[in-house]
Amino acid sequence: MFFEGSEKKLEIIVNASAPKLRSLDQAFWLELVAASNADILSSISNEYCDAYLLSESSLFVWDDHIVMLTCGASTLVESACYCIESLGEQAIAYVCYQRKNEYYAHLQASSFGDDVLRLRHFIAGQAYRMGHLDSHHHYIFTTDKNYQASQLDTTNELLMYHISGTVADYLRGDQQSIVQISQMLQLNQLFDGFSIDQHLFSPLGYSINGIRGSEYFTIHITPQENSSYVSVETNIDMNSTQVNIFAELVTLLQPNSCDLIGFNSNIADKPFLNYLCLSHCAMTIKQGYNIHFSHYQQDSLEVLIPTLL
């Protein structure tokens, strides 16, 4: 059974003169999510943020910006266009649209190039590829607007491929429970004090959103044997944590390889034990984001078995 776990990601920041995004009615968010061919499963809220767990990943809404991730064959670019068109281009301060290379890109509704052409109908911007085309790589589209980000505006993304070991075996089993998964991933210790919303998909798959004040984290697991994928994303300041959250999750899930993507983050300076950094790419855009992409591989021989097609 195959499912494309690799996600597309959208961040939109609005100007101070725009309506507060959390004041928009529920119909707006239902339409936004539906544009990606996804549904809202549940939600949690606090004083700063509304977090929606989706059938295809997550949506986080603050007063001045949103972060949305969708997986599978979702059409996140359509949600981006819906949002820009609905709010008006003048209300938009910044847009960042990201897309990781997929396992089976030909099964997607569009390519990144198609998405960029679609976005440029609504807003101007530049597109980049970080990483080799014939290896793990990451696409980013950012707008040209005169927006300046705070250096405290930090995002850390960890993408893991081909997980293995005890936790991976449990995630592929038929007797899973949300409680057991949370305990095995040590989520209470790694994300202490967060309000959480979790969902266990059938027959496989797990998602969790967490919010604490204006901070958030989200984890999405596609454990299928031949195409396993795990994404972890947070705006937590990793320098303020007592443990290296990403290193702990890599140790637990034992991926064959993984990527780190950071915006104004120094997480790439903290290497993973028994992993080699095979490639690194970094750039600074005029909106004030220092962006880096690093690809890591286990420092051991991987013995593969031919797959019958």
**What's the pLDDT score for residue 308?**
79
Q: Determine the pLDDT at residue 18.
A: 95
- Residue 241: the pLDDT is 84
Note the pLDDT of residue 23. 97
Of 94, 105, 109, 104, the residue nearest 140 (C-alpha) = 94
pTM: 0.96
The full set of domain ranges for the chain reads: 8-298
Which 3 state secondary structure label does DSSP give 181?
helix
Q: Which CATH number among 3.50.50.60, 3.60.90.10, 3.90.550.10, 2.40.110.10 corresponds to the domain 8-298?
A: 3.60.90.10
The pLDDT tens digits along the chain (309 residues) read: 788 889 999 999 999 999 999 999 999 999 999 999 999 999 999 999 999 999 999 999 999 999 999 999 999 999 999 999 999 999 999 999 999 999 888 989 999 999 999 999 999 999 999 999 988 999 999 999 999 999 999 999 999 999 999 999 999 998 899 999 999 999 999 999 999 999 999 999 999 999 999 999 999 999 998 889 999 999 999 888 888 999 999 999 999 999 999 999 988 677 788 999 999 999 999 999 999 999 999 998 888 888 778
DSSP 105: G
Taken in order 278, 237, 68, 142, the sign of the CA dihedral is negative
> Is the distance from CB of 225 to CB of 216 less than 8 angstroms?
no
Which pLDDT value is given to residue 307? Answer: 79
Q: Which of 160, 141, 172 is nearest to 291 (CA)?
A: 141
